[in-house]
Amino acid sequence: MDLILRGILSYTSKRSGVRLDMYRESYIRRRIELRMRFLGLNDLSEYFRYIKSNEEEINELVNAIAINVTEFMRDRSPFEFFMQKILPELSSRRSGIIRFWSAGCANGEEPYSIAIAVLETLPDRGFSIYATDIDDDSLKKASVGIYERDQLKNLSPELLNKYFEKTGNRYKVKEFVKKHVRFKKHDLTSQEPITKYLDAIFCRNVMIYFTEEQKEKVLRDFYNALNSGGYLIIGKSESIPKIGFECVNLSEKIYRKV
Ligand SMILES: C[S@@+](CC[C@H](N)C(=O)[O-])C[C@H]1O[C@@H](n2cnc3c(N)ncnc32)[C@H](O)[C@@H]1O
């Protein structure tokens, strides 16, 4: 690891109290490069100077590095609402395949959770899930679909048994779940359309790092990608500007296209 990079990491770790030594160098580099691009800086030494004179950047960098933290059925209750209210409603209103998008899918925990939720609630229904992320490494892990026990702690032993095969100490998503999910690289800020005629979009804990202006652009894309009456589910600690969506459940952060 080069000296400047090491310097940035040890400075950031000391100031934030967050350990950064468990991440791979290539991953850290990519995250710092994303920060540098955002700030319009060209090299690592310039970034090191910037971080030393801008205290708030320490937090930004830590967030940028910890950004793909996720787990199966994250926060649980939005998934319960999804299974109890949204899926039955979509099923009675829609004929044909129900289409979902997990935007910012990280290592696949979210799209596979959606698949499990649908298989549990509507076992005979056709459905498909687009799962996209900007990060190649995450997408690779997602398509392999092997997870540590800790990532699965929100799933009951019955669900684990039904939807995963044990491989050593880890758990692999079974093929009949995987076949519903299609992974693809996509940058939400690119404004490039990914798909249309969707019934629900999960974009949880992704836009939290976007500016308000960027968030509005992404929301317009979501609006265009959804069928009317389609749902948008964001992260529990997030909020969105009111652009074409009505709130269905404020505490679960569930919205519907009007
Ligand atoms: C904290 S994770 C959220 C994962 C999952 N949605 C959840 O809530 O558990 C954020 C993910 O968003 C991805 N991401 C960040 N910026 C993105 C962008 N511009 N386009 C697409 N994905 C992005 C990151 O690579 C990361 O995998």
Mean pLDDT along residues 22-43 = 87
Predicted confidence at residue 201, as pLDDT, reads 98
Predicted confidence at residue 22, as pLDDT, reads 61
CATH code for the domain of 53: 1.10.155
Predicted confidence at residue 60, as pLDDT, reads 86
Examine the domain organization and report whether 145 and 218 are in the same domain.
yes
Q: Pick the more confident residue, 225 or 70.
A: 225
Q: Pick the more confident residue, 3 or 211.
A: 3
CB 246 within 8 A of CB 256: yes
35, 74, 99, 133: the catalytic one is 133
Examine the domain organization and report whether 45 and 147 are in the same domain.
no
Examine the domain organization and report whether 64 and 81 are in the same domain.
no
Taking the centre of ligand 1 as the mean of its atom positions, its distance from the CA of residue 205, in whole angstroms, is 7
d(Cα 214, Cα 75) in Å, to the nearest integer?
Answer: 25
67 lines ligand 1 (CB under 6 A): yes
Q: What is the DSSP string of 105-166?
A: -TTTHHHHHHHHHHHHH-TT--EEEEEEES-HHHHHHHHHTEE-GGGGTTS-HHHHHHHEEE
35 lines ligand 1 (CB under 6 A): no
Predicted confidence at residue 209, as pLDDT, reads 62
Tell me whether strands 181-185 and 198-203 are parallel, antiparallel or unpaired.
unpaired
Mean pLDDT for all residues in the chain: 92
Q: Which of 68, 85, 105 is the last residue of a domain?
A: 68
Examine the domain organization and report whether 10 and 55 are in the same domain.
yes
204 lines ligand 1 (CB under 6 A): yes
135 lines ligand 1 (CB under 6 A): yes
Question: Best mutation site among 154, 206, 210 for ligand 1, i.e. most ligand atoms within 8 A of its Cβ?
Answer: 206
Does the pLDDT of residue 105 top 80, yes or no?
yes
Does the pLDDT of residue 101 top 90, yes or no?
yes
Mean pLDDT check: name the lowest of 136-150, 181-195, 208-222, 227-241.
208-222
Mean pLDDT check: name the lowest of 33-37, 106-110, 138-142, 237-241.
237-241
CB contact set of 152 (below 8 Å; sequence gap of 6+): 71, 72, 160, 164, 171
Q: Quote the Cα angle for 136-141-146, to 5°.
A: 175
Question: For the chain, what is the domain count?
Answer: 2
CATH code for the domain of 86: 3.40.50.150
Predicted confidence at residue 191, as pLDDT, reads 82
Does the pLDDT of residue 242 top 80, yes or no?
no
Taking the centre of ligand 1 as the mean of its atom positions, its distance from the CA of residue 66, in whole angstroms, is 10
Domain of residue 251 covers: 77-257
31, 35, 74, 99: the catalytic one is 31
Question: Best mutation site among 82, 134, 153, 217 for ligand 1, i.e. most ligand atoms within 8 A of its Cβ?
Answer: 134
Q: Which pTM was predicted?
A: 0.81
CB 149 within 8 A of CB 171: yes
107 lines ligand 1 (CB under 6 A): no
Taking the centre of ligand 1 as the mean of its atom positions, its distance from the CA of residue 98, in whole angstroms, is 23
Determine whether 133 is an active site residue: yes
Tell me whether strands 198-203 and 98-103 are parallel, antiparallel or unpaired.
parallel
Tens of pLDDT, residue by residue over 140-154, are 999 999 999 988 999
Determine whether 256 is an active site residue: no
Examine the domain organization and report whether 145 and 167 are in the same domain.
yes
Does the pLDDT of residue 19 top 70, yes or no?
no
Residue 23 token pair: 């991440």
110 lines ligand 1 (CB under 6 A): yes
118 lines ligand 1 (CB under 6 A): no
CB 218 within 8 A of CB 207: yes
The pLDDT confidence band at residue 66, using thresholds 50, 70 and 90, is: low
Mean pLDDT along residues 185-198 = 88
Residue 189 token pair: 């800020």
Nearest CA to ligand 1 atom 25: 135
CB 188 within 8 A of CB 108: no
Does the pLDDT of residue 63 top 80, yes or no?
no
d(Cα 5, Cα 218) in Å, to the nearest integer?
Answer: 32
Predicted confidence at residue 155, as pLDDT, reads 95
d(Cα 58, Cα 34) in Å, to the nearest integer?
Answer: 14
Mean pLDDT along residues 69-98 = 94
